[in-house]
Structure 1
Amino acid sequence: MDHTGGEVVSKDIGLSPQGLVLDPALGPKGPYITIEGKDLHLFPGFMDVHVHLREPGFSYKETIASGTRAAARGGFGYVCAMPNVRPVPDSLENLKLQLSLIEKSAKIPVLPFGAITMGQEGAVLSDMADMAEHVAGFSDDGRGIQNEFVMRKAMNMAKKLDKIIAAHCEDESMLDGGYIHQGDYARKHGHAGISSESEWRQLDRDLALAEQTGCKYHVCHVSAKESVSLIRRAKARGVDVSCETAPHYLLLDDSQLIEGGRFKMNPPLRGREDREALLEGLMDGTIDMIATDHAPHSAEEKSRGLALSLFGVVGLETAFIALYTGLVRPGLMSLRTLVDLMSHQPKQRFGIPPQADCTLFDLGARSTVDPGMFLSKGRSTPFEGRVVYGRCLYSSSGAKTTWMDQAYFNQEGLA
């Protein structure tokens, strides 16, 4: 499948010590091992525009090396790193610290976001102009920009710089100490709930600002049905808006919650109607892409139950296989559409030219999600124990092999 989400075609490929060869007749001499390729599919590398690599500052949760290894194993050839690290990339000096770590440790290309405000405190704009050429865009992900005047200034600057504002939409005045969705599960079990309005109310404000300023606006981790409707209407008016949702919002809802930290993320798992609205939004083009919001924490930080565990789950190693199993195999979505949402669409929106990257999956491989096998330092996933189909055998970026499933290729006599 090519980089524009094209048709699936049958083709011979070769794997040698030099890497993957799309035409073995023209590539380096073998020997090549013949592998029955009934369920093998080669895709353009995926792009995740929403990843928390936790470095610098929180390397006990994740490092750039461990996070990008996990990404390569999940089929990703490119990721964007969120700015809630320490020091916050709110100046060129701070950003260069992160860029040097990326250059030293990343296994795949990483493009960071710069912070919108100094210290991500929502008050004073960061040094956006100084950082612009080095970043994917600007975000204060983890917190919403509460002050409308500050967001307007940020959008005006982003428009001038031709950069994207990627917003975590959350009105903190409406949170009321909540930590899961304000729905049936919260009411039945005595948990403090987070209303959907805390998301869509701020989104509504931002869409009006984006329309007025003309900036490129991107909505992070959409979870609520009202948000989907607002974005759909804004697109119809010509607002330059894109948005993402995450695998867990598409495959799970609050009816599947249990008392454990691996089901706690922000925004929370919403209701069934919200999940159905997200799926509809994917199919009609309202939602532009799927991103993981990969947010690793230590085992202790995720062992405190729903009320006290930190927000965030990991997703780089489960995203494609969970979505393929839950959406493509049952016929809810075509394989072509899924790959487009995970590859072509995010690259196009964030200005990433087609890369010489690819990933090879065995879509017939069946397994059970086991966090103990993750390459990420994070282990908290709501998909733990779920039976999935798909196994990433190989990933590359440029001429560089970034992941090879040694167990598989040893079995086939290639590795």
Structure 2
Amino acid sequence: MTGTQKKLDLAVRGALWFGPVKGKKSKKGGQLVDVLVAKGKIVALSPAGSLDLRATKEIDAGGKVLLPSLTDVHTHLREPGQEYKEDIASGLAAAAYGGFSNILCMANTKPVNDSASITEFMLEQAKRSWPDGPRLFPIGALTKGLKGQELAPMAELKGAGCAAFSNDGRPVESTELFRRAIEYAQDLGMIVIDHCEDPYLAPAAGMNEGEVSSRLGLPAQPDVAEAIQVARDVLLAEYLNAPIHLAHISCEKSVAVIRFAKARGVNVTAETCPHYLTLTEDEAAGFSASAKVSPPLRVAADVDALLDALADGAIDMLATDHAPHAAHEKEVEFDEAPCGISGLDTALATTWELVRAGKLPFDAFIRAWTSAPCKRFNLPLNAFNPGDSADFVLFDQDEQWVVSAETMKSKSKNTPLLGRALRGRVAAHFLAGKMVVGIPSPGL
């Protein structure tokens, strides 16, 4: 007992945990627990006060919610080339304060991340700005320059540290080339992430084809544009017996195709985003470019279908699709503005509200933000088992805050939530047992 005491570096006491403890089912309303840490690893998650062990640093969580750090498999950090929108340091700051430990960032930088030198530069910038994390995992370009004409040097990109491959917001038009990309990635033990959008059906319109677009007279994209590409991808994956990951699913039709594929045993995973679970096309009713995103915000029936799919596992995980843009780029006419919503700062609060409202079970929330993305992309996962990296959050679920330029850590503030009040904020964030974020709060 004494020997164990000397090895404990950190003890967080009295956190509220909604999951199981020591194999026992979770209690309704949660229970208070202690988290014990040594050498950056979890030693134990136990009922509060059940283990009489002291640590070098003792923290009273004061009943704040305990969560494993989140993982985001779809972000845009803009560096190199567009640092006026975001850079790696500011993007990782938004991640750290937003509760994220692992961040996958897309290849649509300038120049495109289609060479080892760009990948290595991004990793160096991350280590320089946030040496203790959050951890950055670049996604390599699927084709050179994201042009969809020639495969990128995928083996080189993997060797430099890329975690997956994607053509990001520019779907590969050639099905033959896309097939070869999936096969090449599979040979490397890697996964292709596809932006599912038929390139000929109003690409990147940023507005759902429906009542609002008709009223406003705006170019719009039907939901079938996404579902067609989802169908292509899962049929290819089945034919090749290869894995595929589908980005930012937004509509009920796509969910139906994914359910069909999973029932057939296709190795497919899919993500959706907080904005597709909480917002609809009505956000753009006043020509608001802050709500212009690709794929576009859909209708209430799509929101309900996505929530059901996320709850039962047809949709495996959540991702922010954090897409920062400068104010002057969004403050133009709707059809001229770029697509994208800045999401790292607000994702935890908005999705926790779904848990609070009973729309998303806690275990589905944890799966979607932690275990599913980490297992799919082979990333560090904290399941609070002994030996797991001590990556966790103390979340004040009752703190109210207003989304503003002052409260967001991202350089860009392009979100339809700007000016709105949210409930729930990270009070402290620990990575490998080190506090990387600590917002002043009682008991911390």
TM-score (ref. length: structure 2): 0.85
Which of residues 150, 173, 177 is equivalent to 1:146? Answer: 173
Q: Is 1:248–1:382's contact at 8 Å kept on the other side of the alignment?
A: no
* Residue pair 1:4, 1:340 contacting (<8 A) in 2 also: no
1:206 partner letter:
D
Question: Residue 13 of structure 1: CA displacement?
Answer: 5.5
Q: Report the more deviating stretch, 176-185 or 335-344.
A: 176-185
Q: Does 1:361 align with 2:395?
A: yes
Cα deviation, residue 385, structure 1: 3.0
Q: How does 1:12-51 map to 2 (within 5 A)?
A: 12=34, 25-28=53-56, 36-37=62-63, 40-51=64-75
Q: 1:26 to 1:123 in 2, by over 3 A?
A: same
Q: Does structure 1 conserve the Cα–Cα contact (< 8 Å) formed by 2:193 and 2:244?
A: yes
Q: For the residues of structure 2 that align with 1:189 and 1:245, how far apart are their CA atoms?
A: 26
In the alignment, is residue 267 of structure 1 matched against residue 298 of structure 2?
no
Distance 2:107 2:357 in 1: 37
Q: How far apart, CA to CA, are the structure 2 residues paired with 1:413 and 1:207? A: 50
**Could you tell me how far 1:384 is from its partner in structure 2?**
2.2
Give 5+ residue unaligned stretches, structure 2.
1-16, 46-50, 382-388
Is 1:123 paired with 2:177? no
Shift in CA distance, 319/361, structure 1 to aligned 2, threshold 3 Å: same
Task: For residue 150 of structure 1, report the CA deviation from its aligned partner.
Answer: 0.7
Contact 1:162 1:215 in 2 (8 A): no
CA separation in 2, counterparts of 1:12 and 1:176?
50
Identify the range of structure 1 (175-184 vs 267-276) with the bigger mean alpha-carbon deviation: 175-184
Q: Distance in 1 between matches of 2:197 and 2:57?
A: 56
Q: Are the aligned partners of 1:69 and 1:402 in contact in 2 as well (CA < 8 Å)?
A: no
- Aligned counterpart in structure 1 of residue 118 of structure 2, from 94, 104, 109: 94
* Contact kept in structure 1, 2:93 and 2:409, CA below 8 Å: yes
Q: 2:327 aligns to what SS in structure 1?
A: coil
Report SS of the residue matched to 2:125: helix
> After the TM superposition, which residues 146-225 of structure 1 pair with which residues of structure 2 at under 5 Å, given as runs?
146-175=173-202, 178-225=205-252
Letter aligned with residue 363 of structure 2 = R
| CA-CA distance at 1:331 after TM superposition | 1.3
Report deviation, 1:9: 3.7
CA offsets 1:360-413 (integer angstroms, 9 cap, x no match): 10112223322432111010112223332211001121133221103x2xxx37
**Contact persistence 1:159–1:214 (CA under 8 A):** no
Q: 1:11 to 1:195 in 2, by over 3 A?
A: same
* CA–CA separation in structure 2 for the residues paired with 1:249 and 1:12: 35
Deviations for 1:263-299, whole angstroms, at most 9, x for unmatched residues?
Answer: 1111110122211111121122110001000000111
Structure 1 residue 129: Cα displacement = 1.4
CA distances 1:37-57 after superposition (whole Å, capped 9, x unpaired):
2xx111110000001111111
- 1:110–1:397 Cα change, 3 Å: same
Distance 2:84 2:19 in 1: 36
User: What do residues 122-153 of structure 1 show as CA deviations (whole Å, max 9, x unaligned)?
Assistant: 01000011222421110011111111011000
Q: 1:384 to 1:26 in 2, by over 3 A?
A: same
1:51 to 1:29, Cα distance in 2 relative to 1, 3 A: closer
Query: Pick from 397, 415, 426: which aligns with 1:392?
Result: 426
Are the equivalent residues in 1 in contact too, given 2:205–2:294 (CA < 8 A)? no
Matching residue within 64, 72, 75 for 2:88: 64
Secondary structure (helix, strand or coil) at the match of 2:102 reads: strand
CA-CA distance at 1:77 after TM superposition: 0.9
Aligned residues: 403
Deviation at 1:29, TM superposition (A): 5.5
Per the normalisation by structure 1, the TM-score is: 0.91
Cα pair distance change 1:4/1:397, threshold 3 Å: farther
2:239 is matched by which residue type in structure 1? Q
Hey, what does 2:409 align to over in structure 1?
A: 375
Root-mean-square deviation (Å): 2.5
For the residues of structure 1 that align with 2:57 and 2:117, how far apart are their CA atoms? 48
Of the structure 1 ranges 396-405 and 90-99, higher mean CA displacement relative to structure 2 is found in: 90-99
Q: Does 1:55 align with 2:82?
A: no
Q: Is the 8 A contact 2:102 2:379 kept in 1?
A: no
Deviations along 1:131-183, one digit per CA (max 9) or x if unpaired, are 22421110011111111011000011011111010001112211178331111
Matches within 5 A, 1:314-353: 314-325=342-353, 327-353=354-380
Residues 49 and 177 of structure 1: is their aligned pair in 2 closer, same or farther, counting only changes over 3 Å?
Answer: closer
- Change in Cα spacing, 1:396 to 1:223, as seen in structure 2 (3 Å) is same
CA contact (8 A) 2:250 2:306 kept: yes
CA shift at 1:95, angstroms?
Answer: 2.2
Amino acid aligned to 1:79? I
Identity of aligned residues (%): 36
**1:132 lines up with 2:130 in the alignment:** no
Indicate whether 1:109 and 2:135 are aligned.
yes
Does the alignment pair 1:249 with 2:283? Answer: no
> Amino acid of the residue matched to residue 11 of structure 1?
V
> For 1:166 and 1:177, how far apart are their aligned partners in 2?
18
SS in structure 2 at match of 1:193? coil
* Compared CA separation, residues 9 and 347, structure 1 to 2 (3 A): farther
* 1:76 aligned partner: 100
What SS does the corresponding residue of 1:174 show, helix, strand or coil? coil
- TM-aligned CA distance change 1:189 to 1:152, over 3 Å: same
CA contact (8 A) 2:97 2:437 kept: yes
Distance 1:35 1:235 in 2: 41
Amino acid at match of 1:68: L
